[in-house]
Amino acid sequence: MAGKNSSRKQTSRKDGAKVHQFPSAQERAERQQQPRPPFPPQHQERPGLESKVQPRPEYQAPLYKGSEKLKDKVALITGGDSGIGRAVAVLYAREGADVALVYLREEQSDAEETRRAVQQEGRQALLLPGDVTDPDFCREAVETTVEEFGKLDILVNNAAFQQHQEGLEEISEEQWDRTFRTNIYGYFHMAKAALPYLRPGSAIVNCGSITGLRGSKQLLDYASTKGAIHAFTKSLAQNLVERRIRVNCVAPGPVWTPLNIVDQPPQKAAKHGEKAPMERPAQPEEVAPAFVFFASAADSSYITGEVLTLLGGETTAA
């Protein structure tokens, strides 16, 4: 679905009538006409499905041409069913990798769509439903991936839980615990499970957030975990540098994914990303190339311990 500023083309039928056609995904990308807020007011119960988000998040990256940067690699992506995780899975496949996707069982239909998208790129996708807060599941997910594909080269930690609250007193201990167990414990569990299988040249790519660099008054717990992810990235990079395993982090600003649809009331969700200099949120396909960059030795063999911000025109000195 095109945004409010997207232009339409007119074509003529044989009977002379004018037919309006929205630009294709590739045309929108070429003209930098990604969908803009206000979006249709909408809300979903957790964990949310990308298939119900309007307009649908863009993940196909029609302008991105693969060049075998990840040829015959194997990647495991948490939160791989939708949003950033889906877009990363598609581009990794386009670069020649097979992927394993971790997601919650309630997101099965989204995961199956992602698997189809990966298969359309000519690669294999393994579906691994489960919860990254469970260390036993994390070990099983890694072991199943290695059993299926014979190895593991890339770990992408992307699964996240987010819930706005107006004040500290409104954050329950249950919410605080769930946020930390998903967003930082899950990264720890997955990295620890993957490490025995990673070899020199392997990569871990974490998903942080601009909130982890400058805070967020309504996302106290979420922003705290993202700050922890940034520190975890830098510390783990130092810990693994002698083993030639690189660890980096992508820290986006607002991105159009189901995460914000389930977290905010409809009217606020409709305005997501409008305060960015580009006056819109990023689409997942615009964030995913950064994950390719950090996974690809051709691009980033001398880079480890970095946090890369993608902010739609903002700059930060942090």
Nearest CA to 101 among 89, 119, 109, 83? 89
Could you count the other beta carbons within 10 Å of the beta carbon of residue 216? 17
Could you count the other beta carbons within 10 Å of the beta carbon of residue 131? 15
The sheet that has 307-310: what strands, in order across it?
125-129, 98-103, 74-78, 154-157, 203-207, 246-252, 307-310
Amino acid identity, position 71:
K
User: Facing residues of 307 across strands?
Assistant: 249
User: Facing residues of 204 across strands?
Assistant: 155, 247
The residue from 59, 103, 222, 302 that is catalytic is 222
Q: Reduced to 3 states, what is the DSSP secondary structure of residue 282? A: strand
Strands (E) across 225-290 are located at: 246-252
User: Facing residues of 87 across strands?
Assistant: none
DSSP string, 20-43: EEPPPHHHHHHTT----SSPPP--
DSSP 57: P
Q: How far is CA 162 from the centre of its chain?
A: 14
CA–CA distances in Å: residue 316 to residues 150, 211, 279, 309: 41, 12, 18, 8
Residue 103: active-site member: no
Could you count the other beta carbons within 10 Å of the beta carbon of residue 202? 24
Integer Cα distance of 87 and 206 in angstroms: 15
Residues marked active site are found at 222
